């Protein structure tokens, strides 16, 4: 019995030794892994706890006007690296736009390489957004040693950020400021360009807003978006309006080109144009009870004679009118690469049937031939069309910087037809024409020959004043500027839009 108990005791002792040995071997293996095999990992972890890398936001490139005047600067900011400050906020708000911090929405379409930091402002609207890739620059970085509390103790290395590109625009700050002042509280838009190159000289929508405040003041965007005057609405890019009589030179040139009329064709103005049982009056007869006798195309443009263009509408037909308006670029979104842009509406029988479930009547064509009815144009698209006449039949792509300029397309109009239409526009701004604010136009005693067209387009809103239009280019024989002004619900083009255009034109030709 004693031998049995001793044997059992011996077995238990061996088992205990074996367990202790196993525990010792496990502890030894763990110590080996941590001290030998895990040396690099734990050393790296230790270094990470002691060394921190910090990204450095690059100064954003700035905008300059065509004369080298700064439009925006960057102010040092501890939280965001730099904050943007627009030097002429209301004069350039719709042109430059503004910045915002990145979010899921604007990062979905972000295509400028590495994603921006959460505290790095990026272009939200306007040219700030379009030129984002050129403006943003490249991030730098600094490596710091830190203590146990995470506080920086010394800088170990630094790579400076690369500043963004400075962009010299084609626009003139002087014209932007003049337009802002000229519009005052009126709603509308003005655009000017060089008809020979497509360089945009002026881009203004009214009313404007302060793009400095919209970034810094919470709730201001909501407040502005609910304002009945719609200061955030870019009327140049997004607006759609009936053009009224400013469209008449385009239709006249189309009628000359396709042989519907010649420069010598005349129609008699009896004050009323009768179509079946419907009467369409000439504006001069309706306002003053007077008729204008025999009217050719030059007189038709000079006097903005509705009777002449009613005849053209019937002779051409809606299909031919739309074909020529399309050739003039009214369906092209000329600035779509820079801004969201509305497309003009050139209605026809198919559109009316699908939209209103009604047939197209000849009276619809008659209305459209004087820029009324269902026809709606975007101000930028109309400006491109006006520029084609100013440039003697060339269509130039609009651009905000010279790097984006393209060769202009020659539309190959008959020179005699172009000269006829231009002569009508010259006489429109001469005594007896409708553009009376620019009669005998002089600056500092010097005569400046101009060609223009007025427009007064009925508004669809009950009781609202018509939209006032005015388009002009000068000097006539070698144009340096073509300008289009729209005043939303402003009244008559000659009374409201033309004086604004005169102020802008005068500033342009007065510049050093």
The predicted structure's pLDDT at residue 119:
85
Q: Both 334 and 386 in a single domain?
A: yes
Q: Are strands 63-64 and 167-168 parallel, antiparallel or unpaired?
A: parallel
Cβ(470)–Cβ(484) below 8 Å:
yes
The answer to whether position 385 is within a domain reads yes
Residues of the chain scoring pLDDT < 70:
1-49, 105, 218, 512
| Domain boundary pick from 112, 147, 168 | 168
| Domain boundary pick from 168, 202, 227 | 168
Q: Both 258 and 157 in a single domain?
A: no
| Domain boundary pick from 115, 136, 168 | 168
Number of domain units in the chain = 2
- Beta pairing partners, 241: 377
The answer to whether position 334 is within a domain reads yes
The answer to whether position 466 is within a domain reads yes
The predicted structure's pLDDT at residue 42:
42
Dump pLDDT digits (tens) for 15-46: 656 656 665 566 666 555 555 544 454 445 44
Q: Both 95 and 230 in a single domain?
A: no
Cβ(434)–Cβ(303) below 8 Å:
yes
The predicted structure's pLDDT at residue 219:
76
Q: Both 117 and 180 in a single domain?
A: no
The predicted structure's pLDDT at residue 2:
44
CATH of the domain at 163: 3.90.1310.10
The answer to whether position 423 is within a domain reads yes
Q: Both 162 and 249 in a single domain?
A: no
Q: Both 203 and 285 in a single domain?
A: yes
Taking residue 360's Cβ as centre, other Cβ atoms within 10 Å add up to: 17
The predicted structure's pLDDT at residue 105:
64
Cβ(353)–Cβ(318) below 8 Å:
no
Question: What is the dihedral angle through the alpha carbons of 486, 490, 494, 495, rounded to the nearest 10 degrees?
Answer: -140
The predicted structure's pLDDT at residue 12:
62
The answer to whether position 20 is within a domain reads no
Q: Both 384 and 317 in a single domain?
A: yes
Q: Prior bond to 207 cis, omega within 30?
A: yes
Q: Both 400 and 368 in a single domain?
A: yes
Q: Both 186 and 109 in a single domain?
A: no
Contacts of 397 (CB under 8 A, 6+ apart): 198, 334, 404, 405, 406, 408
Range of the domain at 310: 173-510
Alpha carbons 226 and 313: distance in angstroms, whole number? 41
What is residue 346's three-state secondary structure? coil
Q: Both 153 and 182 in a single domain?
A: no
Q: How far is CA 439 from the centre of its chain?
A: 32
The answer to whether position 33 is within a domain reads no
């Amino acid at each position: 019995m004693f031998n049995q108990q001793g044997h059992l005791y011996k077995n238990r002792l061996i088992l205990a030794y074996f367990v202790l040995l196993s525990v010792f071997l496990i502890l030894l293996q763990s110590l080996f892994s941590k001290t030998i095999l895990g040396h690099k990992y734990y050393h790296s972890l230790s270094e990470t706890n002691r060394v921190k890398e910090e990204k450095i936001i690059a100064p954003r490139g700035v905008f300059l006007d065509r004369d080298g005047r700064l439009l925006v600067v960057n102010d040092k900011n501890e939280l965001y690296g730099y904050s943007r400050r627009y030097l002429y906020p209301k004069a350039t708000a719709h042109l430059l736009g503004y910045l915002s911090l990145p979010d899921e929405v604007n990062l979905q379409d972000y295509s400028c390489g590495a994603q921006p930091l959460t505290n790095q402002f990026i272009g939200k609207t306007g040219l700030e957004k379009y030129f984002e890739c050129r403006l943003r620059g490249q991030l730098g970085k600094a490596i710091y040693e830190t203590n146990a509390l995470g506080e920086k103790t010394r800088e170990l290395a630094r790579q400076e950020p690369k500043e963004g590109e400075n962009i010299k625009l084609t626009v003139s700050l002087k014209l932007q400021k003049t337009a802002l002042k000229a519009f005052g509280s009126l709603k509308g838009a003005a655009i000017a360009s060089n008809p020979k190159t497509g360089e945009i000289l002026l881009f203004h929508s009214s009313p404007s807003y302060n793009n400095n405040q919209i970034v810094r003041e919470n709730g201001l965007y909501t407040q502005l978006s609910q304002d009945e005057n719609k200061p955030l609405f870019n009327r140049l890019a997004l607006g759609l309006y009936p053009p009224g009589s400013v469209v008449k030179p385009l239709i006249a040139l189309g009628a000359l080109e396709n042989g519907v009329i010649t420069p010598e064709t005349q129609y008699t103005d009896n004050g009323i144009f009768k179509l079946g049982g419907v009467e369409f009056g000439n504006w001069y007869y309706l306002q003053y009870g007077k008729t204008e006798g025999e009217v050719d195309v030059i007189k038709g443009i000079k006097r903005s004679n509705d009777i002449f263009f009613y005849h053209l509408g019937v002779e051409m037909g809606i299909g031919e009118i739309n074909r020529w308006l399309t050739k003039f670029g009214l369906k092209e979104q000329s600035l779509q690469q820079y801004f969201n842009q509305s497309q003009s509406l050139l209605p026809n029988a198919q559109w009316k049937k699908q939209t209103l479930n009604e047939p197209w009547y000849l009276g619809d064509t008659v209305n459209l031939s004087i820029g009324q009815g269902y026809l709606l144009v975007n101000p930028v698209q109309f400006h491109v069309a006006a520029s084609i006449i100013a440039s003697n039949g060339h269509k130039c792509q609009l651009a905000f910087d010279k790097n984006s300029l393209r060769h202009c397309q020659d539309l190959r109009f008959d020179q005699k037809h172009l000269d006829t239409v231009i002569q009508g526009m010259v006489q429109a701004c001469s005594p007896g024409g409708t553009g009376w604010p620019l009669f005998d136009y002089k600056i500092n005693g010097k005569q400046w020959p101009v060609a223009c067209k007025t427009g007064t387009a009925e508004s669809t809103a009950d009781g609202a004043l018509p939209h006032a239009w005015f388009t002009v280019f000068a000097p006539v024989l070698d144009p340096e500027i073509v300008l289009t002004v729209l005043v939303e619900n402003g009244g008559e083009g000659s009374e409201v839009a033309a004086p604004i255009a005169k102020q802008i034109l005068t500033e342009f030709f007065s510049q050093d």
